[in-house]
Amino acid sequence: MIELKNIQKAYGDKDSAVHALAGVSLTIKRGDFVTIMGPSGSGKSTLLHILGLLDQATGGEYLLENHPVTGLSDRELSRIRNEHYGFVFQSFNLIPELTAIENVALPLRYAGETKKAALARALGLLASVGLDKRAWHYPSQLSGGEQQRVAVARAIANEPDVIMADEPTGNLPSGTGAEIMRLLTDLNAGGVSLVVVTHDDHIGAMGHTRVRLCDGLVEAVAS
């Protein structure tokens, strides 16, 4: 589904550039569960941001269903993200001024649903993560685990082909983290591709494809 060829990412200007990714080639197959591990600073978040079209590579090729994404406008990239990708971040990244249900409804509104339809569907999505009773709470009124469940509901709102998660359990106690991983692996069992960056060896080992990054390069891939 997604193919990266020799992807590079440099930050800063030529002389003092930091090469966060130094030539990464990686294939994400439909339905796969990919875990990405590696030391801090090895490029995991950079890679996930590029995979999610949240950031652009400075070199190499990104193919989506065999079509290069290079040259697509910001508007087209946003549409691909909203329709095909779901994101879960370590710090939940909910909008604090919006209630849980409004956060989940947001990508549906972007996709063109009416407010009424979006809220109705958002409530169903919150129910699917066990949080319908908290629908009208603000993020600050929810625990970390609850906020992350809202983030998962938001990530699946538009029935993505792939969910990309950057240390989704990093700010959670282990039991709560395990619940979040269960939600994600259940989605994967239902056919959604899953890419999870993690520091946790146990979660890393759960991947059907396990990628190890070091100094901006793929050190090993196991499957």
Ligand X SMILES: Nc1ncnc2c1ncn2[C@@H]1O[C@H](COP(=O)(O)OP(=O)(O)O)[C@@H](O)[C@H]1O
**By the criterion CB under 5 A, which residues form the site for Mg ion?**
44-45
Kindly tell me the sign of the dihedral angle through the C-alpha atoms of 44, 50, 56, 58: positive
Q: Is 16 in the site for ligand X (CB under 6 A)?
A: no
User: Which residues, numbered 26-65, are part of the site for ligand X (CB under 6 A)?
Assistant: 38, 40-46
Report how far Cα 45 is from the mean position of its chain's Cα atoms: 10
150: helix, strand or coil: helix
Q: Is 99 in the site for ligand X (CB under 6 A)?
A: no
Closest distance to ligand X from the beta carbon of 39 (Å): 7
What amino acid occupies position 132?
Answer: D
Nearer to Mg ion (CB atom), residue 36 or residue 157: 36
Closest distance to Mg ion from the beta carbon of 43 (Å): 8
Residues in the chain: 223
- The Cα–Cα gap between 190 and 150 comes to 19
Query: Which residue is closest to Mg ion by CB?
Result: 45
Q: Is 18 in the site for ligand X (CB under 6 A)?
A: yes
By CB under 6 A, name the one of 2, 4, 7, 20 that touches ligand X: 20
Q: Is 17 in the site for ligand X (CB under 6 A)?
A: no
Total residues binding ligand X (CB under 6 A): 11
- The Cα–Cα gap between 28 and 30 comes to 7
- The Cα–Cα gap between 176 and 59 comes to 38
Nearer to ligand X (CB atom), residue 132 or residue 215: 215
Q: For residue 208, give Cα distances in angstroms to 27, 191, 194.
A: 13, 13, 10
Nearer to ligand X (CB atom), residue 40 or residue 140: 40
* Binding site partner of 86, from Mg ion, ligand X, none, Cβ cut-off 5-8 A by kind: none
Closest distance to ligand X from the beta carbon of 115 (Å): 36
Nearer to ligand X (CB atom), residue 120 or residue 214: 214
Q: Are strands 33-37 and 193-197 parallel, antiparallel or unpaired?
A: parallel
- DSSP-assigned letters across all residues of 95-107: -TTS-HHHHHHHH
Nearer to ligand X (CB atom), residue 90 or residue 193: 90
Q: Which tokens sit at 166?
A: 């950057």
Give residues in contact with ligand X (CB under 6 A). Answer: 11, 18, 20, 38, 40-46
